[in-house]
Amino acid sequence: MIIAICGFMGAGKSTFLQTFSGVPIIDLDIAIRDEVGEDLGEYIRRSGWEKFRQLESLCLRQKVHTIGQEGLIALGGGTLEDEKNIEFLKESGVKILHLKVDFDEAMNRIAGDANRPQLDKSRDELEELYLKREKVFSKCCDLSLVSDVNSWPTSWTLLKTLF
């Protein structure tokens, strides 16, 4: 089973990956960063969101095809805004896990992170983005977990049983 982890910025997607050893893990943001050779914030500010989202979709497809029969992929916060990415994951049999985080908690977790170009927006714009994405996540996910490291499953075997 391949599980894709979605959630708003600061939901803990990258941290969630670190919980599991012995299973292949891919952080899509890190894979893209390695591909472009610079921090994502710099790349997005220089190349624009449209070009970044195209690269993100391409990288997602490559990583799903190369991860093997089972593993975890942490998606970028906006990966699932593109319906084609959702369709691809579903058609590929990938399960989608939503890490649900409260807006204020997410903002506290990512405050001051200069590598997040979304933080160039106003708080109202970010809250609107949060609400939009939460609707998408709720609609397409197979499972939701609270973004609290103390409530997460601690083994790959246990995680798979939740699906």
Give the tokens for residue 45: 């500010």
76 annotated as a binding-site residue: no
For 143, list phi and psi in degrees, rounded to 5: -160, 140
Residue 77 annotated as lining a ligand binding site: yes
- Report whether 10 belongs to an annotated binding site: yes
Edge-to-edge, what's the strand order for the sheet holding 2-6? Answer: 25-27, 71-74, 2-6, 95-100, 143-146
To the question of whether residue 15 is assigned a binding role by annotation, the answer is yes
Classify strands 95-100 and 71-74 as parallel, antiparallel or unpaired: unpaired
**12 labelled as ligand-binding?**
yes
Residue 48 assigned ligand-binding role: no
Provide the token pair at 53: 């989202």
Among residues 50, 61, 60, which one has the least CA distance to residue 29?
60
11 annotated among ligand-binding-site residues? yes
Q: Say if residue 46 carries a ligand binding annotation.
A: no
Q: According to the annotation, is 147 in a ligand binding site?
A: no
- Residues contributing to the annotated binding site for Mg(2+): 14
Cite the annotated binding site for ATP by residue number.
Answer: 10-15, 116
- Residue set of the binding site: 10-15, 29, 53, 77, 116, 133
Binding-site positions for substrate read 29, 53, 77, 133
